[in-house]
């Protein structure tokens, strides 16, 4: 019997020590592959509002990396008017997809990155696209992506370029 989105989500989150990583979501790949990934994303953004949502998406990258601009806009529309869901999606979409969902509730949000080792202040609205990060911040992000999710910055450059070609 196929697990529901709610059940798969519960299993994934209960398997995480703190934040989802690829290691913690991998045991559920078969179940994830059998559900609509857009529904899984929407469900989690509406029901698990936390800073760990970006990690949830990074850990399930292989299931959503093909989504088109139209499909991302469907996701954005389905979480619209939920302040926390909008906020966390805006941060993720800006930082990892290189697109701006244009949520009214988060239009003035600004995320600031400051790295003490190189004394760099980097900012964006709401976050810098990952490929625009520089110095120690970029190095830390690249290391984290590789270590926790088996991904690289270039994986997101490819997605962003494709979404930009679709006028996202």
How crowded is the C-beta side of 147, counted as CA atoms within 13 Å? 6
Phi, psi dihedral angles at 39 (to 5 degrees): -65, -40
Give me the mean pLDDT over the 67-96 stretch: 90
pLDDT digit string, tens, across residues 15-70: 887 788 999 999 999 999 999 999 999 999 999 867 789 999 999 999 999 999 99
Determine contact, residues 34/50, Cβ cutoff 8 Å.
no
Determine contact, residues 46/83, Cβ cutoff 8 Å.
no
Q: What is the pLDDT at residue 127?
A: 56
**DSSP H helical ranges for the chain:** 5-15, 22-25, 29-33, 37-47, 53-59, 61-64, 69-79, 83-92, 135-144, 153-165
pLDDT digit string, tens, across residues 114-154: 445 555 544 444 457 888 888 887 888 899 999 999 999 99
Task: Quickly count: other Cβ atoms within 10 Å of residue 114's Cβ.
Answer: 11
pTM of the model: 0.84
User: What are the beta bridge partners of residue 114?
Assistant: 121
Report residue 73 as tokens.
Answer: 């806009």
Q: What is the pLDDT at residue 115?
A: 47
């Amino acid at each position: 019997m196929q697990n529901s989105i709610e059940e798969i989500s519960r299993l994934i989150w209960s398997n995480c020590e703190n934040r989802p990583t690829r290691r913690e979501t991998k045991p559920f790949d078969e179940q994830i592959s059998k559900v609509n990934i857009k529904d899984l994303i929407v469900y989690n953004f509406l029901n698990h509002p936390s800073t760990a949502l970006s990690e949830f998406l990074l850990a399930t990258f292989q299931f959503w990396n093909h989504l088109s601009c139209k499909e991302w806009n469907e996701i954005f529309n389905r979480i619209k008017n939920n302040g926390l869901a909008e906020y966390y999606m805006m941060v993720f979409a800006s930082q990892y997809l290189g697109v701006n969902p244009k949520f009214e509730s988060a239009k003035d949000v600004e995320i600031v990155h400051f790295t003490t080792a190189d004394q760099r202040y980097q900012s964006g609205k709401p976050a810098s696209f990952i490929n625009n990060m520089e110095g120690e911040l970029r190095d830390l992000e690249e290391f984290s992506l590789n270590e926790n999710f088996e991904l690289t910055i270039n994986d997101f450059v490819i997605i962003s370029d494709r979404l930009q070609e679709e006028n996202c």
